[in-house]
Amino acid sequence: MKKRIGVLISGGGTNLQALIDAEKSGIIKSGTIVCVCSNSASAYGLTRAKNAGIPTKVIRKNADCGGDIDEFSRQICVYMKEMQVDVIVLAGFLAIFGGELLREYADRIINIHPSLIPSFCGKGMYGLKVHEAALDYGVKVTGATTHLVNEIVDGGKIIMQKAVYIEDGDTPEILQRRVMEQAEWIILPRSVEYICKGLSDE
């Protein structure tokens, strides 16, 4: 029985597309994406989901939950339960949540972070900021990390990591793209399969 996957997004949905493609190609075979939830109504990832025939929902912390993080977490949790989700994947989800969602889905929420944790991670480190920090620091190798989500930002157990070399002339935008292509889009689908398979084997 395939595990049911819910994906949380905030923007363009390139990692979501990598997951959709990985399911089609058989990299993800122990799970199936059953819904996509965004905290932004304008996220292009919602269009990607609709194009793939995947149900979508928008839950905004301020507009729908009065800015209350616990209510925001509760509403996402309710939707995931309605969709009978087993595993949640954060694919470029830029909102912080906690409470009920973390408790109900303990050890079943996967995040992708665009650095080799514990470098360049934690509160406020997301998107281009991570790549700017890596370039400012002068590291020669960066990459991406998949990890389980707990109450500490980027603090959960590491699932997989993949290194990417920094090249002369890299800008944060160029580096971001290379990390996506050479690391994120490879290890995120593999990590999702790993967790889904592990749950199936229990």
pLDDT tens string 105-141: 999 999 999 999 999 999 889 999 999 999 999 999 9
Q: Coil, helix or strand for 87?
A: strand
Q: Measured between alpha carbons, how far is 182 from 143 in angstroms, rounded to an integer?
A: 8
Mean of pLDDT values over 58-79: 94
Q: Domain ranges for the chain, please list them.
A: 3-201
pLDDT score of 118: 95
Q: Phi and psi of 27, rounded to 5°?
A: -65, -45
Q: Measured between alpha carbons, how far is 84 from 122 in angstroms, rounded to an integer?
A: 30
pLDDT score of 195: 97
HSE-CB at 90 with a 13 A cutoff on CA atoms is 27
Host H or E run for residue 133: helix 128-137
Q: Phi and psi of 29, rounded to 5°?
A: -120, -10
Do 71 and 100 form a contact (C-beta atoms < 8 A)? Answer: no
DSSP letters along 13-25, please? -HHHHHHHHHHHH
What 8-state DSSP symbol labels residue 157?
A: P
Task: Single out the catalytic residue among 48, 74, 108, 113.
Answer: 113
pLDDT tens string 159-185: 999 999 999 999 999 999 999 999 999
Q: Answer whether residue 74 shows pLDDT above 80.
A: yes
Which is it for strands 31-38 and 56-58: parallel, antiparallel or unpaired?
Answer: parallel
- The fold of 3-201 is Rossmann fold (3.40.50)
Instruction: Judge whether 113 counts as a catalytic residue.
Output: yes
Q: Give the pLDDT band of residue 98 (cuts 50, 70, 90).
A: confident
pLDDT tens string 4-63: 999 999 999 999 999 999 999 999 999 999 999 999 999 999 999 999 999 999 999 999
Q: What is the residue whose two structure tokens read 């944790």?
A: 117
